[in-house]
Amino acid sequence: MIQSVTVNLDVIEALLYFWQSTKDRIKISDLFILEAAAMPGLQCVYDDEFNAESVRRALSAIVNREAFSSKNRKEGRFYSNNLWMLEDLSLTERMVAPLKKLNLSSLPAKLNELQENEQYEELAVIISPLHIDEYIIKNNRLIVNFFAVRPSDEGENVYIGKQELLAFITEKLTKLLSGGQ
């Protein structure tokens, strides 16, 4: 039975600092980039094509205003999405603000109603700057691609695709509980 669903925005908080500092031409240390790449919210999405070195190379190229040569599509997309955040920090803020207020306290009861679950007591929703995928499911974690978040033109709602964020999270957590990817 699910007891809690937590939200983790640690990587987004770190990258907000990165994006703002880079926009303001404040030098970001290599240590900061390495620490960001080592954060659990990014580590949980690493695979054979995209890893801590991919993150380091992309963010370093942005900070140093160097050309970036991606080794694959995932690295290229991660790099371009981070550049996109620098273009309009007000858009970035409109994406982040509703995430900071995201309250998932009603989800355990709703998910327990929808599906019997003996496997997990806790679920985690991690908002992370991914590359291509809208989301990734790993064990009891739903990793949502921050770059897939779209703010509403009116109000503070955010969407992923055509789905409101809370509905998206609920659907994907239900999928997680049923063993889906």
Residue ranges per structural domain of the chain:
10-88, 95-177
Residue 181 has a pLDDT of 64
Residue 119 has a pLDDT of 83
Residue 171's φ and ψ, nearest 5 degrees, are -60, -45
For the entire predicted model, the pTM comes to 0.91
Residue 25 has a pLDDT of 94
Of 21, 131, 127, 120, the closest CA to residue 73 belongs to 131
Q: How many residues are recorded in the chain?
A: 181
Residues 6+ apart with CB under 8 A from 129: 11, 12, 15, 42, 78, 81, 82, 145, 146, 147
Q: DSSP characters for 76-88?
A: HHHHHHHHHHHH-
Per-position b or e across 38-75, b if 16+ CB within 10 A of its CB:
ebebbebbeeeebbbebbbbbbebbbeeeebebeeebb
Rounded to the nearest 5 percent, the helix, strand and coil shares of the chain are: 50, 15, 35
Average pLDDT for runs of 10 along the chain of length 181: 94 96 94 96 94 97 94 95 94 92 92 80 95 92 96 84 93 88 64
CA distance 130 to 123: 19
Inter-residue contact 158 to 99 (CB < 8 Å): yes
Residue 178 has a pLDDT of 86
